[in-house]
A and B are shown apart, each in its own frame.
Chain A
């Protein structure tokens, strides 16, 4: 009997260090053929299937919603359906056993595993595991270090892997960016007049879809809001691809409407709805989740009348849509990177956008 083959969580994009088990396509012990999908996994940006690397019998431990580090085994393919010979994880309570001859893990490796929150199952099926091997796996599963000086009585909050990724991304952005925010008030009656008019012509259109459509039209004139800062200088994206934040029960996702400036309002509305549907079905691909040059985030559905959006990586601005106030106004909020723009330019952009969203005839 040969060693079972580990099927590992692949690295889908550089920012994702964890994946979540969505569903299994096989049962434990099933006979599988090479190339057959075993499991659907989800990262912060997409879901994807992992296929069997070879013929054999599939075994796994993790149930749906389990989080796995990139590089960790999610399943094993054995060459028979007998009990799988995988060393059980060391009991935390028992004293660590002295390594026996033939022990796969060096003591240093074991210590690092403990420190990094890894267990033997993360390494099953391989040969000797040394400290370097642990570091390689751990590097993909790095968790933020505990902050210094925690006040007494504080209770640690468990963060999801996707949240950790988000934190790391935002931290990278904000280590460099100089975010600034301006807001402008939109008249609700005029917006709704515009939406009614467009709806009559193209079918129902939401404020988000309209805002995305008009922003895409404006942005070519405002390259500093459709750019990014890198290597000590400002850059403008060559295309307009507008992401919109969606968070409907599952985790936060930002699907991207590519080449938004070339689409009609009807096409924009269709794209937004299609991406939202795919989000609900957990079918968003990595391609649909990457490449945004500008982001719109709409919290009007939550009744939020004002908030400050946070810049995304490799973007220089983000637009926030707020709920209507009692006075019949509705805030448009723009957070921008002050290294590329300034308050006056941003204010003028908002004014131009407001003018486009309000139906002057309303």
Chain B
């Protein structure tokens, strides 16, 4: 046995010792939650780490990540403290067993979603041109996830330096592969033109060589390679959920390379093993004594609200968006645009990216119709230091990439304890009025707000495009920008209703307020395109001597309630109008916040105007009947005014 092989087996022993200790801590009731051990599969992790270059490569792992982490970092202290929930853990105890981040290492607990993230990290390394590659570890169970195939397609098409390592342990949690997997594993990748290799953990010296060769191909040819590594998990998927045949497990236990190594007295260096056990014991001891992170709620920022005169963008909102994107690409070499049909000559379904690929051909990219895949790749690009902006052609399609927004983009910064930036920008048009029908006209904001770590901006008719895109450049967390098809043609410098002035808060994503010069009678909070309706009604009600104060929040989540509190304290009357469907809507939050902070005299009266809770019809007359109208807003304003 050569020294390297012995070293690999000692690393595997470290992994197994840590995991056995973790299981013991769970058994002793000293850990909460769950953990997924890789006992029996350690050599896959050890061989992969040996095949990569820690200075420039990155490993992306899954729920069963302890082995990958320890083989890559040799940091049992960071892992044990993390799983034990201590501030000294690698993510401050916030991530726990499945959600680790270290130099060149990430793991996440969602099946499949890490694959496009790893592809994005590979893309970032390709753009950096330093020869780095990304490796992603998945299991055979992950082959049931569609986003894996979206990513294989893109990685092959874009020649991304991505090494996909599939550890085939024959079971998806408790279900045998024979029940869940059709066809051939490697043939899946091969179908995308990706080179595939096949190895196993029982012949681990060969596996190391195979992975080295695969990594060299990825690095040298700058293209993806797929490696199937057959292995077997000796312990339960998680804990106490093992229904496999005990004889089968026994058979693999005897065949396990680490067990065979430990059983062979000639090769074993007992003092070395003892020192590994001692190292783990001391790490546990230190973690036990370490403090827990302080997660007391932080102050929600400046209490004093200040205002400024807006400087409206010139031209239409669409032109302003196009200009802001172009400026970003020009001024920041890390910026790039991804989306379906975004390049010239098409320039996007609504022409927001028109002409941008002419000036920045390498950073404006047409993608396949793979919404989850491209948002996942953007997530990886952001983790790799890039500033990706994704266009989703219709807001309705956000449903296809919700996992990437919710479980990846919104989580990375927080669950990795601020170690990383995940500042992707996803922009997409929503809204009806163009006859696109039930699946291309929706306003889905209410399904996307309230996610910690995900900012949701909703563009309204006076939204300050240039300044908000400047503010975006400083963000470290993801931002979803909801545009509106009918607002594209509107101008932020349009004439104001008579007797009104325009002001905005000094926040990076301000609340724009159309303030009457007389004392306001009714506060109207309008989201998105509803700002146009609100302005129309405000102009009409001048003749009725009714003064509305119109609030257009740009940032819907989080929502700055201070302008709202200031306004309703004066009016005591609040109408909220949004284009999304009624009930469990944005207005619910606005009204709740208004009531919580109400300082006015008398009771606060409220009305909500929203779309009827039904699918949006395509036929214009029906669509107009379902969507909120200026007439319905006007009627609500008059009704509440009279109360």
**Highest count of chain B CB atoms <10 Å: which of A106, A107, A131:** A107
Interface contacts (Cβ under 8 Å), in number, total 31
B545 and A131 within 8 A (CB): yes
A98 touches B545 (CB 8 A): no
Does A143 make an interface contact (CB < 8 A)?
no
B274 within 8 A of A: no
A130 to B543, CA, bound (A): 9
Complex CA distance for A110 and B545, rounded to whole angstroms: 10
Give the chain B neighbours of A108 by CB distance below 8 A.
Answer: 521, 544-546
Residue in contact with A106 in the complex, picked from B544, B634, B635, B642, CB distance below 8 Å: B544
Contact with B along A89-114 (1 / 0, CB 8 A): 00000011011000000111111001
Please tell me if B638 contacts chain A, counting CB pairs below 8 Å.
Answer: yes
Point out the residue from A95, A107, A114 that lies within 8 Å of B544, measured CB to CB. Answer: A107
Q: Do A98 and B638 touch across chains, with their CB atoms under 8 A apart?
A: yes
- Residues B634 and A107 in contact, CB atoms below 8 Å apart: no
A111 to B545, CA, bound (A): 11
A98 to B638, CA, bound (A): 7
Please, how many angstroms separate the alpha-carbon atoms of A147 and B395 in the complex? 58
Is B541 touching A107 in the complex (CB atoms < 8 A)?
Answer: yes
**Is the C-beta of B641 less than 8 angstroms from some C-beta in chain A?**
yes
Question: Within the complex, which residue of A95, A96, A109, A114 is in contact with B545, where a contact is CB–CB below 8 Å?
Answer: A109
Total chain B interface residues with beta-carbon distance under 8 A: 12
Give the distance in Å from the alpha carbon of A131 to the alpha carbon of B521 in the complex: 14
Q: Which residues of A contact B546 (CB under 8 A)?
A: 106-108
In the complex, A131→B641 CA distance in Å?
14
- Which residues of A lie under 8 Å from residue B541 when comparing CB positions? 107
In the assembly, what is the distance between CA of A95 and CA of B634, in Å?
15
Chain B 617-643 per-residue mask, 1 if CB under 8 angstroms from chain A, else 0 = 000000000000000001100110110
Which of A52-74 touch B at CB < 8 Å?
none
Bound-complex Cα distance A106 to B545 (A): 6
* Set of chain A residues within 8 Å of B642, measured between Cβ atoms: 96, 107, 110-111, 114
CB distance from B544 to the nearest CB of A (A): 4
Q: Give Cα A130 to B541, complex, Å.
A: 12
- A111's closest neighbor in chain B, by CB? B642
| Nearest CB of chain B from residue A114's CB, rounded to whole Å | 8
- Which of chain B's residues 516-561 have a Cβ closer than 8 Å to chain A? 521, 541, 543-546
Least distance between B589 CB and chain A CB atoms (Å): 29
Cβ of B545 and Cβ of A130 under 8 Å apart?
yes
Which chain B residues border A110 with CB–CB below 8 Å? Answer: 642
Q: Which residues of A contact B521 (CB under 8 A)?
A: 108
Q: How far is the CA of A114 from the CA of B543 in the complex (A)?
A: 19
**What's the Cα separation between A114 and B635 when bound, in Å?**
19
The B209-250 residues at the A interface (CB cut-off 8 A) are none
Complex Cα distance A253/B512, Å? 63
What residues on B are CB-neighbors of A111 within 8 Å? 641-642
**Contact indicator B543/A96 (Cβ below 8 Å):** no
In whole angstroms, how far apart are the Cα atoms of A323 and B639 in the complex? Answer: 61
Q: Judging by beta carbons under 8 Å apart, are A96 and B544 in contact?
A: no
**Minimum distance in angstroms from B432 CB to a CB of chain A:** 24
User: CA A271 – CA B521 in complex, angstroms?
Assistant: 59
Closest chain A residue to B546, Cβ basis: A107
Q: How distant is the Cα of A109 from the Cα of B642 in the complex, in angstroms?
A: 11
Query: Is A98 a contact partner of B634 (Cβ separation < 8 A)?
Result: yes
Q: Are B635 and A98 in contact, with the CB atoms below 8 A?
A: yes
A106 to B546: give the CA distance in the assembly, Å. Answer: 8
Give B contacts to A, CB under 8 Å.
Answer: 521, 541, 543-546, 634-635, 638-639, 641-642
Q: A98-B635, A130-B545 are in contact. List 6 more A-B contacts (CB 8 A).
A: A95-B639, A98-B634, A99-B544, A106-B546, A108-B521, A108-B546
- Give 27 pairs: A residue, B residue, CB < 8 Å, sorted on A: A96-B638, A96-B642, A98-B634, A98-B635, A98-B638, A99-B543, A99-B544, A99-B638, A106-B543, A106-B544, A106-B545, A106-B546, A107-B541, A107-B544, A107-B545, A107-B546, A107-B641, A107-B642, A108-B544, A108-B545, A108-B546, A109-B545, A110-B642, A111-B642, A114-B642, A130-B545, A131-B545
- Closest 9 pairs (CB-CB, A-B): A108-B545, A107-B544, A106-B545, A106-B544, A131-B545, A107-B546, A96-B642, A99-B544, A98-B638
